[in-house]
Amino acid sequence: MNAPHPQHTHHARPSRRSRRLAALGAGLALLTTACTTQSPSNDQAEQAADDYPNRSISWIVPYAPGGGSDRQVRRLQPHMEKSLGKKINVVYKEGGDGAVGWQELANATADGYTIANVVAPNVMQLEIDGDTGYESKEFEYVSWTETAPNVLVVAKNSKYKTIDDFVAAAKKNPGKLTVAGTGKTGKLSWAEMSEALGVRASYVPVSAGVGDIVPDLKGGHIDAAVFGASHAVEYEDNMHPLAITGTESVAALPDAPTLESEGYGSAVLGTSWGVIAPPGTPKPIVDKLNKAVNDAMAKEKVQTALDEGGLTALSHTPKQATKYADDQRKQLVTVNDEVSK
């Protein structure tokens, strides 16, 4: 008797459509699981905000020690530490005219334990000029704290005693005088100011901050510099202000007239400093930081330091701070368009 042949079971191959549907279903399941496990619930977010802060906070300063950003932090730091009940550690991340520090903040965990100061127009101008690795509008704006017009300065022993002296020399030697500033933002500030003055000069970019411009100015390596007027107050022993932007004088710089008051054109750009957190930082945490900043700004010691430093104090809610940033961005686009014509 012949042995029976073994029977083979044939499994039908799933159709391409069936395989696609199965893969889609698996992908949706994974996505649902990921969202469920990675996104904290409202209760968890509220609990995190209630507990905030429960450890020290890192504050990124995107410029070199001793500059305007550093001084801003040092004014606020002790008062904010008292308000928040935790230590604030200052971390310097300089380079790229501030871009290095702001990139790091953009990539930081949005839990309120990493914050940074922000400088306008610098943070926006970097974006206009190219890819920065961040979008300034995506940051959470805690508050803006101070602002100042721009100023054109020369060394204390310079032969240019007035803005008219400087303009006369610049017109006599087109493009030969040198004006330094902070990176690309300084370049725009000088472009606006030079147009108002009707002169040409060679721009010298310095990326690390105003602190690095001072030695070159003192040593006669550059003829002039442009930056926020508060720096001229800070380094008054080394420099002489020739003129400021805007329409109002600065009490701490009584010898610095506005460009318009001296018969020149209008220039509107200035410098503002504020505090930001990473994109997506929960609102209750931003609100706590905002209260700490504004409590610090209300201190008489801070207000006196601002007045003596040639700065105008600002105070905002997060919503107002965001609008202020938006307004600065729009103004900057307008100035860029005007000077490029």
For 304-317, the pLDDT digits (tens) are 999 999 999 999 99
pLDDT at 185: 85
3-state secondary structure of 316: coil
pLDDT at 207: 75
Tokens of 109: 């965990």
**The CATH fold of domain 57-147+271-339:** D-Maltodextrin-Binding Protein; domain 2 (3.40.190)
Average pLDDT, the chain: 87
| 153 bridge partner residues | 225, 241
pLDDT at 337: 87
Question: What HEC string does 90-107 produce?
Answer: EEECCCHHHHHHHHHHHC
Which of these ranges, 57-66, 100-109, 174-183, 206-215, has the smallest mean pLDDT? 206-215
Tell me whether domains 57-147+271-339 and 148-262 share a fold.
Answer: yes
pLDDT at 45: 64
For 234-276, the pLDDT digits (tens) are 899 999 999 999 999 999 999 899 999 999 999 999 999 999 9
> What pLDDT band is residue 133 in, cutting at 50, 70 and 90?
confident
3-state secondary structure of 145: strand
Query: For a pLDDT cut of 90, what percent of the chain falls above it?
Result: 70
For 160-171, the pLDDT digits (tens) are 999 999 999 999
Average pLDDT of span 328-341? 86
pLDDT at 44: 66
pLDDT at 341: 67
Rounded CA separation 132/98 (Å) = 10
66 with 208: CB under 8 angstroms?
Answer: no
> What pLDDT band is residue 34 in, cutting at 50, 70 and 90?
very low
> What pLDDT band is residue 192 in, cutting at 50, 70 and 90?
very high
153 with 224: CB under 8 angstroms?
Answer: yes
25 pLDDT exceeds 80? Answer: no
29 pLDDT exceeds 50? Answer: no
Average pLDDT of span 281-309? 96
9 pLDDT exceeds 70? Answer: no
The full set of domain ranges for the chain reads: 57-147+271-339, 148-262
pLDDT at 211: 81
CATH number of 148-262: 3.40.190.10
pLDDT at 10: 40
For 98, 135, 152, 190, the CA distances from 244, given in Å and listed in that order, are: 24, 30, 6, 12
pLDDT at 272: 95
For 92-131, the pLDDT digits (tens) are 999 888 999 999 999 999 999 999 999 999 999 888 888 7
pLDDT at 2: 43
